[in-house]
Amino acid sequence: SVVSLVLIPVFLFRPKNVRNCVLTGYVLRHISKLVGIQWKLRRGDILEVERGAVIVANHQSMFDILGMFDFWDVMGKCAAVARKEVFYVWPFGLAAWAAGVVFIDRKRGRVANHQLDEASSLIKRHKTKLWLFPEGTRNRKGDTLLPFKRGAFRVAVACQAPIIPVVYSPYYFMNAEKKYFGHGRIIVQVLDPIPTVGKSESDIDTLMEETREVMVKQYELLKQEVLTLHDLDSQKIQ
C-alpha cells in the first residue's frame, strides 16, 4: 500500500501506460530481498523481443507477482490481466489501473471474453505482451498445474500471436497449511514460443492442452532441480 501511494502520482503523468510497471519493478525488487526470495530468470531473451504475444504462466502464490516485476524491464511492454476485484483493493488497485493492468470479470464469462477482446488491441496495434495465468486461480498444493481456461488461447488465436509459456518452480520453502515461510530461490523458465499463425477457433482446445503439457513437463524438471539444490544446501549447513 505504501509503495502504491508513492507510485500513483508518478503513474498519473502517463496513466494506463504499461511501461509504468517497469518502474514498479525497480521498487519491488527490494521487497523480494526483504522477504528472502531470489529470482532466477532463464531464457529471458525470448521475453526481450518486442512483439505482440500472449504469456501464460503457472500460478502458485501471490509472490508470483513479485517475480513478474523482478524481470518486467526484460519484458518491456507487457500488460498483466487480473480479476476485477483487485481494482477495488485501494490504493493498490488504483496503482494497478494506472500501470495498465487489464481487469476482467471472471464470474461473467461473456463479459470477460469481451474485455479480453478489447485488450487484444494492445497485442495487435502496440506490440504489447499480455500476461495471463490460465489456471484462473492460485494452485497452493504445488503438485502439478491445474486445468487451463480457454481465454488466453482464444486471444492468441484471434490475434495470431505467439504463446510464450513461463514456468515458476515450486515454492519449496513455503507451506501455507503449516504456516511456514522460509527463504529460497525460484527459477522462472521461459519456454519456446508456440506459434498460432494459421490456427483457428477449432484449434484452441488442442493448443491449450499442448501448452499445458509442455509446462507440466518443465514444472516437474524444475521441481527436481530446486529440491536437489535445497537438499545440497541443507547438507552444507549441517
- Tell me the per-residue pLDDT of 87-99, one tens digit each, with 9 for 90 and over: 888 788 888 888 8
pTM value is 0.90
Question: Which of 112 and 43 is assigned the larger pLDDT?
Answer: 43
| Distance separating alpha carbons of residues 47 and 51, to the nearest angstrom | 9
Domain count, the chain: 1
Q: What is the separation, in whole angstroms, between the first and last Cα of the chain?
A: 40
Band of residue 1 on the pLDDT scale cut at 50, 70, 90: low
pLDDT at position 179, please?
74
Band of residue 83 on the pLDDT scale cut at 50, 70, 90: confident
Other beta carbons within 10 Å of 75: 27
Q: What is the CATH number of the domain that holds 85?
A: 3.40.1130.10
| Distance separating alpha carbons of residues 127 and 157, to the nearest angstrom | 15
| Distance separating alpha carbons of residues 146 and 34, to the nearest angstrom | 30
Mean pLDDT on 176-196: 91
Written as nine digits, the cell of 203 is 484449434
Q: Are strands 163-168 and 129-132 parallel, antiparallel or unpaired?
A: unpaired
Flag whether pLDDT at 229 surpasses 80: no
Mean pLDDT on 220-235: 79
Domain that holds residue 74: 2-237
